[in-house]
Chains A and B, each alone.
Chain A
């Protein structure tokens, strides 16, 4: 089943730490239970989003890669 995001955040072309900072800000605008899709080309985004979700208690729904673009689905958990 495909998760449909409630909001899409395009961080393609942006480098660390901007995807993390912008994700943090974007998730705060969601209601609990809603999903953000982050698009990013920074090669560090996968370990970064694993760490970020673990630290902040939000749920990493999944990460996939389409060409150079990572698609990261994050559900606001609290």
Chain B
């Protein structure tokens, strides 16, 4: 799934959801920074991570709760730089979500594809 066209390939893994808002934005802005350095970047959301991609959540929470920028700002900053967002079906089931509940353009992969991305990446960074 990597095109190999970037300067490096970086895979972020996000496992935290809406119950810990202080952790919600960092993967997006690090990913945006990496993309601005001409790296190819993906973020894989697993465990509680897919909760952060819900259409009806991204305008409600941000890293400082009710104050400051909301999650939409950080997500769009990353996706505008071509950061790819990925989930897997078991973690959607864990959170009682369907792919339709999530933002458009979120991609679905499975465990084999995830491990292949990780093996091919120059760095895997997990939160």
Contact = CB atoms under 8 A, between A and B. Distances in A.
Main secondary structure of the interface of A (DSSP, over half): helix
Contact of A56 (B7, B29, B30): B7
A21 B8 contact: no
Contact count band on B: 10 to 19
A23 B39 CA distance: 15
B101 to A, nearest CB: 28
A51 interface: yes
Interface of A: 16-17, 20-21, 23-25, 51-52, 55-56
Interface of B: 7-8, 29-30, 32-33, 36-39, 77, 81
18 contacts: A16-B33, A17-B30, A17-B33, A17-B77, A20-B33, A20-B36, A21-B32, A21-B81, A23-B36, A24-B36, A24-B38, A25-B36, A51-B37, A52-B37, A55-B7, A55-B8, A55-B39, A56-B37
